[in-house]
Amino acid sequence: MSSGSGKGAQARLSGHGRMRLLLAPLMLAPLILTGLLLSGCAGLPPGRAPLPEGVDADELLSEIAACHLLRVVQNRDRTVTDAAVIAALDHYGFEFDRMIDRANALVRIAAGRPAQHAQMYDLARTACARLATLTGAASGLVRFGEDGSVDKTWLLVDGEIDDGFANKVIARLRGEKAVGLVINSPGGSLYEARRLGRWLRENGLPVGVNELCTSACIDVLAGGIERYVTTDARLGIHQSRVPAPLSSHEGGQFSVVSAALYLREMGIDSSIALAAAAVPNNEMYWISHGEALETGLVTKVVASF
């Protein structure tokens, strides 16, 4: 699964420089994007893409460093970055070592501001999204192996989404250092599915389906930073089974609204939730690949993983 990042920057990232990043708690103070940027000559080499209008080299370098730090700290791993970081380095011609120096400087300067961590995370997420827009590369986790090559390990999970599912899958993703999740499931707990979906989106992991994904599994798929299905994959939706305490008319309406809001949060057309609400729980509406692509539930149909 390519994110469209440049080979030149990938080559620079595989060098020893990427190991020099300080692995510390994320401390990206508001200076990253509010004008209190580090001074210095970030300069761009000739022949590279011009800077975005109204953005100077130092500001852009700080945004690249902030996005890189977000992925490093989320994974507690110095061998990761974001695909948008790779693309930006390549597109604008910044050297990776210079970006690492900027990332370390941001960590040091922000070390005395622990109360601002939530705002810092928001700024770093904004930086990743902005880089993706500027470069056209999808933001998402990239991990490097010991030899410097890109690690393409995906975790395959099959079965029902039961209690504790999210924690178990997250632990496996971290333990196996996977960069994506392939899930095949008949569904189960909406709470667990949405908890996992939000974690996947926050941490920049894509999701794929190669066989079957129905009911609550759709909410896991929706959480992927990119969402892939194979040509043979089947996607199905129906009404959620509402717990007894919420089985009133109002409870059913709340279930539909919460489903629509979750999909909207994930950037997916909420018409999927309305379609599901029209199908009894003991039946299934099968979503065509065309409809899945049109609504944003799926970003790409692939031959295989």
The CATH number of whichever domain residue 214 belongs to comes to 3.90.226.10
pLDDT digits (tens, 9 = 90+) for 143-157: 998 888 889 999 999
DSSP letter (8 states) at residue 278: T
- 270 has a pLDDT exceeding 90: no
**Rounded to an integer, what distance in angstroms lies between the CA atom of residue 213 and that of residue 233?**
8
What CA–CA distance (Å, rounded) separates 75 from 91? 25
DSSP label at residue 51: P
The domain of 168 spans 153-302
pLDDT at residue 24, rounded to an integer: 39
Q: What is the total residue count of the chain?
A: 305
Q: How far apart (Å, rounded) are the C-alpha atoms in residues 271 and 295? A: 8
Q: Which of 96, 112, 144 is the last residue of a domain?
A: 144
Domain count, the chain: 2
* pLDDT(15) > 80: no
Q: What is the mean pLDDT of the chain?
A: 83
Structural domain ending residue among the three candidates 96, 115, 144: 144
- Helix segments in 28-138, DSSP class H: 57-75, 83-92, 96-110, 117-135
Confidence of residue 80 (pLDDT cuts 50, 70, 90): very high
The answer as to whether 1 is a domain residue is: no
Residue 2 lies inside a defined structural domain of this protein: no
Q: Quick one: 244 and 177 in the same domain?
A: yes
Do 114 and 222 lie in one domain? The reply is: no
Confidence grade of residue 132 (pLDDT, cut at 50, 70, 90): very high
Of 144, 175, 209, which residue is a domain's last?
144
How do residues 237-266 score in pLDDT, each as one tens digit? 998 765 555 454 454 566 788 888 999 999
pLDDT of residue 236: 96
Contact residues for 139 (Cβ-Cβ < 8 A; gap 6+): 67, 82, 83, 84, 128, 129, 131, 132, 204, 225
Tokens (6 digits) for 63: 């945004």
**Assigned token pair, 100:** 């690492």
Long-range CB pairs of 284-289, under 8 A, 24+ apart, other chains included: 284/214, 284/236, 284/237, 284/238, 285/236, 285/237, 285/238, 286/234, 286/235, 286/236, 287/235, 287/236, 287/237, 289/229, 289/231
1 confidence band (pLDDT: 50, 70, 90): very low
Please check whether residue 62 is in contact with residue 98, taking contact to mean a CB–CB distance below 8 angstroms. Answer: no
Examine the pLDDT at 94 and tell me if it is beyond 80: yes
- Residue 26 pLDDT > 60: no
| 185's tokens | 């499931």
Mapping DSSP onto H, E and C, the string for 140-188 reads CEEEECCCCCEECCEEEEECCECCCHHHHHHHHHHHCCCCEEEEEECCE
In a domain, 52, yes or no: yes
- Give me the pLDDT at residue 10, please: 56
> Cα–Cα distance between 133 and 1 in angstroms, integer?
19
